[in-house]
Amino acid sequence: MDMPIRYGSYKTAWRRLRRWQGEGVWDSIFRALSSMREHGRVCVDSSTVEAKGGRNDRIRRI
């Protein structure tokens, strides 16, 4: 809900995130980035935001 409006609906973003997780998109990205380590260093930056309440759904951390 704290996502800037310029990125569109937070509900749409959440549904897309869950769909990509179910389709294995994040695992594919991780494998692709891991394979790049053979050619040099790989850096991935991210942010973490604490979930406040809601269901106990958790995104699996790699």
Give alpha helix (H) positions in 1-58.
Answer: 10-23, 25-36
48 falls within a domain: no
55 falls within a domain: no
Q: How many domains does the chain have?
A: 1
52 falls within a domain: no
pTM comes to 0.53
51 falls within a domain: no
17 falls within a domain: yes
* pLDDT in the model for residue 53: 60
C-alpha to C-alpha distance for 38 and 29, rounded to whole angstroms: 15
| pLDDT tens digits in sequence order for the chain, 62 residues long | 788 888 889 999 999 999 999 999 989 988 888 887 777 777 777 776 666 665 555 555 54
Query: Which structural domain range is residue 16 located in?
Result: 5-39
Distances (CA, A) of 20 to 16, 38, 50: 6, 26, 21
46 falls within a domain: no
20 falls within a domain: yes
